Every structure is written in structure tokens, then in C-alpha cells.
Amino acid sequence: MIAFITELNENNYNYFISDGSVLIYFIAECEELCRTISPIIDEISSEYLNIKVGILNIDLLTESFNIDLYKDLGIRNIPAIVLFKDGEIVGRLIGNITKNEIVELINTYS
């Protein structure tokens, strides 16, 4: 299986979410639950080629970008998944996320 995931940062985040259906996975590598869900994200990225998938590791962000982004998106916990459609948030999942929940989110909004 080949995963089609773009690593996001302050420089490419806004451009990446601006067009089409985009699923962003917010993680911290130190969190066990994030490492557990990552293989599911790999599967989603290879099964839903019409969805751009990005991963945003909060450990690698500058503190100011991280705080602003999480505040803007209303994310208080990780792992978190946010689905965008043409730059607008259409859905989100937080916590112990299953593949079925992600698939349902994608099928509902994209």
C-alpha cells in the first residue's frame, strides 16, 4: 500500500486546504493514540484518491502558529481530524477515531 500524505507546516497549510476535499490529521508523535490511528490515515489516503490528505504534527510547529491554528479550528484535544471543502471546515472528529467514522465523514461531505 502506498500512502499519499502531505506533511504540512506553516508554509504550505493554507494553500493545501484551499481547494477541493482535504482531510487533515492533527497529531503529536508522543501520543500513543496518534500512533495507533496513523495506519488508518495511510489506508484512507490510498483508498480515497479524490481526497487530499495532510498530516500536521504539532510538535514541529512554531508555538504561535500552533496556538492560532488550534484556536481557529476549535481543537482542544488530539488526535483530531478536520475535513475541509474548498477551504471551509465541513466536519471534524476528535479522540479515539475509527476508520468507519472517517469513511462516514468523507462520504457525508465530499
Residue type, 90: V
pTM of the model: 0.89
pLDDT given at position 1: 63
In the chain, the number of structural domains is 1
The domain in which residue 92 lies consists of 5-109
pLDDT given at position 104: 97
pLDDT class for 5, splitting at 50, 70, 90?
Answer: very high
Q: Which segments within the chain are labelled E, that is strand?
A: 5-7, 21-27, 52-57, 80-85, 88-94
The Cα–Cα gap between 83 and 51 comes to 9
Nearest Cα residue to 80 out of 9, 28, 20: 28
67-106 confidence digits (pLDDT tens) = 677 777 888 888 999 999 999 999 999 999 999 999 999 9
Residue type, 82: V
Q: What CATH number is attached to the domain comprising 64?
A: 3.40.30.10
Contact criterion met (CB below 8 Å) for 105 and 97: no
